[in-house]
Amino acid sequence: LGNEIFVAPSGVQKERIQADDIFVIAECEDAECTEALPGGLDVKNAKLVSMPANAAIKKISECTPLFMNAYRMRNAGAVLHSHSQNSLLVSILSQNRNATTGYDEFQISHIEMIKGIKKATTKTALGFRDTLVVPIIDNTDFEKDLTDSMAACMNAYPDTYAVIVRRHGIYVWGDTWQQAKGMVECLDYLFELSLKMRQHNLQLTPATQNEL
């Protein structure tokens, strides 16, 4: 614990992962970081602490450098990655580019479940009338190549606990695994709801009482 970070392996169904399948890594200074992580994954300023007890596990998750973005930039306690179809569809349908940040965004407001999402800067929950904004970045051929674009997006959206990857999925983090899991579930609910609302031509972010 403390500086240690527990990371899932590559190529193992996540619902089947056991304690003996987990890698342990830690942050390190440049002089200490002399080797790539298992599987040849080069993660800046990260070193292997211990291999999984299961000798059959050889490769750490390719998502590791993206997980490290959340740990380093948000001091996250846990990071989850989902390939939810709802997040994927939302990433394709949300084509509203923010002129200030340069990113497309998923937006929704006036939905009770928004209260399950927090603002990263204040650690307070969003309100019913607040607008939830989740930024979207473009996918790459290899997961590790998302690292820099995800970090830039997180800098542009200091309040976000999530980043959607177009035609891929979503990364969500929290102060604890329970908080991260809760926000994943709330976000997926809101994504699915937004898809159904679009089918009925309902406004996702109503501007007036008449649009509610």
List active site positions: 112
Is the distance from CB of 46 to CB of 68 less than 8 angstroms? yes
- Secondary structure class of 132 (helix, strand, coil): strand
b (16+ CB within 10 A) / e for 61-100 = bbbbbbbbbbbeebebebbbbbebebbbbbbeebeeeeee
> Could you tell me what percentage of the chain is helix, strand and coil, using 3-state DSSP and rounding each to the nearest 5?
35, 25, 45
Two tokens, residue 39: 């599987």
Rounded-to-integer distance, Cα 175 and Cα 157, Å: 17
Two tokens, residue 64: 């590791």
Beta 23-27 vs 4-7: how paired, if at all?
Answer: antiparallel
Q: Which H, E and C letters describe 56-91, residue by residue?
A: CCCCECCCHHHHHHHHHHHCCCEEEEECCHHHHHHH
